[in-house]
Amino acid sequence: MAVEKLREGLSAVGTMVRMVGNPAVALVAANAGLDFIMLDLEHGPFSLETLENVFKVGRSVGLGCFVRVPELSKSYVSRCLDLGATGVMVPMLESVEQARRLVHWAKFAPLGSRGFGGVGAHTGYQSVGGESTASFMARANLETLTIAQIETAQAIRDIDSIAEVEGLDALLIGPNDLAISMGCPGDLMGERLDRAISQVAEAAKAHGKIFGMHAPDPLTERWLPRGLKLVMSGLDVNVILSGFKAIAQRYKP
């Protein structure tokens, strides 16, 4: 699965899902060779029940099941994990305190204080069997990614301190909002954004965090040789739109 690859220092490639709530989207992604999908609860319409249904299918075929929550709260972070997410990303995370709260709600003790919910989607609706509670919690902490989406100038200023937080697993660049916050909207290939991303990449390397990005192809390709491991490309609605346009352009007079 994606989390295992990332823990081993390998790359994992996936996409953002904002529109398609049919659980078959997880099968399609896996059949296409993707390592993970990330359901977008920040900008998308999905219910928690939809998230659970998609992730049940995803987990059954070894697909990484990540979610971008709409806000940093226990009700979203902990519940999404209980419903089968293997990674939680918080948008616009920009302080040490926010990073610590994410870890607090996402990780079991001793890293955090996630509640032990027993049997559920996160256990495949099976008991932990002969595994001790302590062993299960330690394994779950390793198999669960906490992801800070870095999208503001304030986050860049505090990036080294954020990256130091124990239990925070990944720093993922959101270049569009980051460029807006830095006063250079749309200039994703410019020098100012490049310097900011470099700071994040360096902080990730220095503190043993996974460096990620959700970006257009030219920016992603620029950073692949520079330590980018958590690679998120595209959006389901854009993929469908491109396919529909190709049909129209090919066959309409």
* DSSP label of 63: -
Catalytic status, residue 207: no
Query: In this structure, what DSSP letter does residue 252 have?
Result: -
Q: Alpha-carbon distance 152 to 144, whole Å?
A: 25
Give the residue from 94, 133, 92, 91 showing the smallest Cα distance to 114.
Answer: 133
List CB contacts of 186: < 8 A, sequence separation 6 or more: 176, 179
Cβ pair 46, 69 in contact under 8 A:
no
119 near 127, Cβ under 8 Å? yes
Give the residue from 1, 16, 19 showing the smallest Cα distance to 124.
1
Q: Rounded to whole angstroms, how far apart are CA atoms 138 and 136?
A: 6
Residues with catalytic roles:
43
